[in-house]
Chain A
Amino acid sequence: MPAWVESQPLLAALMALLGLGLGFGAVLGYASVRFRTEGNPLVDQINQLLPQTQCGQCGYPGCKPYATAIADGDAINKCPPGGQETIDSLADLLDVEPQPLDAEHGEEKEPNVAYIREDECIGCTKCIQACPVDAILGAAKLMHTVIVDECTGCDLCVDPCPVDCIDMVPRKGGIEHWRWELPIPAEQRDNIIASDRAAA
């Protein structure tokens, strides 16, 4: 141990700390360059939670742009197709308070699909250009039709149609989409005592 360390303990401690600081700084600096993540992983995580309807009701041209905006601090309650469920999972991811859906951007609805009344279609291709997921099939002056499995129900094809031959119909109607309902738990019901019920 050099003699000056013993004579100047304060200086020695400062030097040691400075040395450690520089050492770790160098390691961290190297790591941040060497293991750099491409893009913003948060945007991808947010985008995973969004419903991918690509409807633009949030005011952005698609889900990815909205995900980017959320990552930059925009509100998480602008997505009507995702509804409260999406807001809750976004709040969970970003560790913020869940908010109710912003009514300005629309209401939560059952999912729809577009349906083209094929007799009336004039083959103008306007809806094909509007579809964000290429779910409409057809060519100029030929009838168009919707690929139901690919349609996100975004409504974007409805306005451009010059002959108003596109309807939005519920996606989940039939018996195969029926689901059991959660029962109402006893604590949330009145008259849980059998004798009360009989008297009523």
Chain B
Amino acid sequence: MTTVFDIHGGIHPPEEKSLSNPGEVLDAGIPPTLVLPLSQHIGKPPTLEVAIGDRVKGGQLLAAAEGLVSVPLHAPTSGVITAIEPRPVPHPSGLENLCVELRCDGEDDWLELEGFENWQSEAPETLVASVRAAGIAGMGGAGFPTAVKLLAPQRAPMHTLIINGTECEPYITADDTLMQVQAADIVLGAEILAHILGVERILLAVEDNKPAALTAMQAAAADAGRVCEVMTFPTKYPSGGEKQLIEILTGKQVPTGGLPADLGIVCQNPGTAVAVKNAICEGRPLTDRIVTVTGRALARPGNYRTRLGTPIDHLLGVAGFEPKNNRRLIHGGPMMGFALESADVPVIKTTNCILVPTEQELPTPPPAQACIRCGLCAEACPASLLPQQLYWYARARDQEQLERHHLADCIECGACSWVCPSHIPLVQYYRAAKGMMADSRAEKIRSDRSRGRFEARQERLEQEAAAREAQRAARRAAAQQKAAQGGADDPVAAAIARAKAKKEAAAEESGES
């Protein structure tokens, strides 16, 4: 057994994982309509490839990737495109974004799919292109385009692939379930990823509160075509943060402002590994995922295989939602998720959990009190930051100090807010401060460019004015030269002479009369 390391801080909130019965996959079925937001990932939204009225088959491309950091979108089942318009999407703002509405015909008629029979002999570039074409974005929650992560070896050689089956957030059991029922697919996906990345070491990381998943993964790893190490470590929140997990497994810290790739490590979620396996072996794009639908306001909480775009309304109906017990609807887990204003939003690629707790279960947080400077937050912070200092600086909008105290290293895990005896919503301060700083950075870039353009224009105008002045001077000089050569030829002098003669003639005439 390899040694594991510990991270600073961390908390042990009630796990509540057994509620959703991990290990069993239920089917959410095909709802009457699917609503598919174009943008379900970090990066540019893809460009539409269909129009209203088009009949599409399952797996058909609906929108194509736009630029490098973007992923395409595919139809999760067959049907007709009935609308392309802004709709509410799962986002903390509650704002609308462009969505494609697909009325399902219930036949679930799919395109002929074709994968690579012998992926071991394919070049990594070919496989990355397939991953990209399959529309895969990290399924752990952030939604970063997977194909972009797989380009890491182009900059520096990678040596380790970590499949992050930690799933440390309370309530969520989607990855746990996946590891129990599709362990072999996860391992195969990991092998494909390792082939693409050219790494020699595969680590399958499972927290020790998931014994069934651990057993399944160990069995699958034993049958694998290459050596996969299954590693387990004590349960603690937030061990599943990418940087935290790397520290636990390797004892190395990802540098501030750096990426795991700087250490030669790439992390992927088990769901992503399965999606990669489906894309490479079967040519199947990412159109569904396992969503943990849980909370005590449900009659049938569980892990549902859900088509992307399924309205959360529909999912709650399938899970037996009892509205009278519930006050809040949370997208994601209780620590890092955000409240949804309505259930009229769809499941997207990053929806790992829908939490519908009762008021007793997850009470509305009491009003925040003043900070008593107890320092519990600093003890809990897994990134070894000083949450209290960050709180004061965020309040004062002191961006310089926020930068100096490494706000960017905050993973927004919520451990500090969880331990705060004054119930201060610390993470919200940090999120707001991060937004503020991102805006300032963008404005700075903008204003620098505007300054450059303004100065370039001024220079151009000056040059043009100088050129005009030079031309005028040249003409004047030419005219003067001409005049100097022969006085009679000077047009001005000639005109003056003519005028003078006329005047004199007129004067003479008037004198005569």
Contacts and interface: CB of A to CB of B under 8 A. Distances in A.
Interface of A: 47, 50-54, 62-64, 132-135, 150, 152, 174-175, 178-183, 185-187, 189, 191-194, 197
B452 to A, nearest CB: 9
A132 B451 CA distance: 10
Contacts of B93: 175, 178
Given A132-B454, A180-B428, 6 more contacts: A50-B447, A152-B450, A174-B95, A181-B432, A182-B394, A186-B368
A63 B454 contact: yes
Contacts of B454: 52, 54, 62-64, 132-133
A47 B428 CA distance: 33
Contact of A133 (B395, B432, B457): B457
Nearest to B460: A134
B439 interface: yes
Contacts, number: 92
Contact of A182 (B96, B429, B439): B429
Given A133-B454, A182-B394, A51 B443 contact: yes
A135 B457 CA distance: 11
Interface string B90-126: 0111011100000000000000000000000000000
Contact of A186 (B39, B92, B367, B439): B367
Looking at chain A's contact residues, the main secondary structure is loop
A85 to B, nearest CB: 9
Given A51-B443, A186-B422, A135 B89 contact: no
Interface in B142-198: none
Contacts of A135: 453
Contacts of A178: 91-93, 95
Interface size class of B (residues with CB under 8 A): 35 or more
**Chain B contact residues: helix, strand, loop or mixed:** helix
Contacts of A62: 454, 458
Interface in B362-379: 366-370
Contacts of A52: 446-448, 450-451, 454
B500 interface: no
Nearest to B93: A178
Contacts of A152: 446, 450
A66 B431 CA distance: 35
Interface of B: 39, 89, 91-93, 95-97, 366-370, 394-395, 397, 422, 424-425, 428-429, 431-433, 435-436, 438-439, 443, 446-451, 453-458
Contacts of B449: 150
B71 to A, nearest CB: 16
A63 to B, nearest CB: 7
A6 B397 CA distance: 66
A152 B454 CA distance: 11
A87 to B, nearest CB: 14
A62 B451 CA distance: 10
A47 B451 contact: yes
A186 B432 contact: no
A12 to B, nearest CB: 53
A133 B460 CA distance: 11
Nearest to B426: A183
A63 B394 CA distance: 29
A152 B449 CA distance: 10
What 3 A-B pairs come out closest when comparing CB atoms?
A: A179-B435, A52-B447, A52-B450
B435 A180 contact: yes
Nearest to B44: A176
Nearest to A176: B39
Contact of A175 (B96, B438, B447, B457): B96
Contact of A185 (B89, B368, B435, B443): B368
A179 B436 contact: yes
B58 to A, nearest CB: 28
Contacts of A53: 450
Contacts of B425: 183
Nearest to A191: B367
B368 A183 contact: yes
B89 A182 contact: no
Contacts of A197: 367
A186 B91 contact: no
Point out which of B422, B433, B447 has the most chain A C-beta atoms below 10 A from its C-beta: B447
Contact of A194 (B97, B367, B422, B446): B367
Contacts of A191: 367
21 contacts: A50-B447, A52-B446, A52-B454, A54-B454, A62-B454, A132-B454, A132-B457, A134-B453, A152-B446, A175-B89, A175-B95, A179-B438, A179-B439, A180-B432, A181-B428, A182-B394, A183-B432, A186-B370, A191-B367, A192-B369, A194-B367
